[in-house]
Amino acid sequence: MFIYKKLIDNMKIGYPCINKSIGCTSNSTFRLKSYSESLMIEKIQNNLNCLKKILEFNLSNGILFFRISSDIIPFASHPICTFDWKNYFSNELKQIGEFIKQNNMRISMHPDQFVILNAKNQEIIDKSIKELMYHCELLDTMELDETAKVQIHVGAEYGDKKNSIIRFIQNYQMLPPIIKKRLVIENDDIKYSLKDCIKINLETGVPILFDVFHHNCLNNNETIKEAIELCIKTWVKKDGLLMVDYSQQSPDGKKGKHIESINQLDFEKFLIETRGLDFDIMLEIKDKEKSALQALKIKNKINLYQ
DNA sequence: AGTTGTCAAGCTAGT
DNA sequence: ACTAGCTTGACAACT
């Protein structure tokens, strides 16, 4: 019993990108047409100020896991951006990183669907690598260790999963170390299941971030517990704990649509089912920190009564 | 001030 | 061949 308590207490719970209660956004951007260096500076400054506020809010509420928005540096990987944001904001980024480390917080990032490492078109691969470089350089400039991860999906299928997986593996192997040390892949809900991700892991060693909701949509009959056990094996010590994305089906939406607010009973069941396994949870639920706070309460309740 | 069309990027399924 | 949806907010142009 003591061991269970210790393990579940290690668990960090968080939410992605947006805080709905403090009245600022850390993903303010602009139209490409209105690009200028001064606008760039203004937006980044605004985004970093807000990120600090969000992290402070999180800390005072016990939320120790957060996904930083890819928009925090707008157009960072676009050819139009020649602005040296790393250098210009290095002190500020370092400071935020220091705050994160001092308070034992965890960070992830999630570039969007345009990052296709297994694309057939070399230009798309090149752009994808640029985008990954931006994410990794941001985390490096913040001086965060390798437990801060950048998660992507395996990518496209082009009606030929076997060769698309082979292309992923080949392209992964050519990535620079700065990306490799942070990149993790996530099982998706339509194409690449956990089983597919494991195939890739065996060839590359890339850790697998487990998405509970996606697994419920697409799986090979592994239970959630079995699946998490499999994923944990793909993370080594320097990677930190397994990251798990958690969401639930929206009752009024199409299959795959995320729920508006957490179903507390289902979440409690999930925690009990996986009790004893060590991981951090990112709640991909639309009301953001509100559900994260509820999840935290449920976690604490389970700790109390076990 | 409020409303609404549109936004860097790609793939996929559906028309 | 073409477009909406992904997932969604928020910019920016228009009333």
Bridge partners of residue A241, in order along the sequence: none
Burial category of A221 from C-beta neighbours within 10 Å (exposed 0-12, middle 13-18, buried 19 and up): exposed
Please state the pTM of the whole predicted model.
0.93
Lowest mean pLDDT among A32-36, A90-94, A120-124, A206-210: A32-36
Query: CA–CA separation, A51 vs A25, rounded Å?
Result: 8
Q: At A130, which amino acid appears? A: K
Q: Which CATH number fits the domain A2-304, given the four candidates 3.90.79.10, 3.40.50.150, 3.20.20.150, 3.40.50.300?
A: 3.20.20.150
Average of per-residue pLDDT values in chain A: 90
Cα A34 → chain centroid: 29
Query: CA–CA separation, A17 vs A152, rounded Å?
Result: 15
For residue A33, say whether its CB is under 7 Å from any atom of strand C: yes
Enter the tokens of residue A7: 């393990």
For residue A151, say whether its CB is under 7 Å from any atom of strand B: no
Query: CA–CA separation, A268 vs A32, rounded Å?
Result: 44
Domain edges within chain A: 2-304
pLDDT band (50, 70, 90) for residue A187: very high
Query: CA–CA separation, A124 vs A134, rounded Å?
Result: 15
Asked if pLDDT for residue A224 goes beyond 70, the answer is: yes
Angle at the Cα of A117 from the Cα atoms of A105 and A247, rounded to 5 degrees: 45
Specify the pLDDT at position A232. 97
For residue A106, say whether its CB is under 7 Å from any atom of strand B: no
| Strand C close residues, chain A 278-297, CB < 7 angstroms | 284, 286
| Strand C close residues, chain A 170-199, CB < 7 angstroms | 189
Specify the pLDDT at position A1. 45
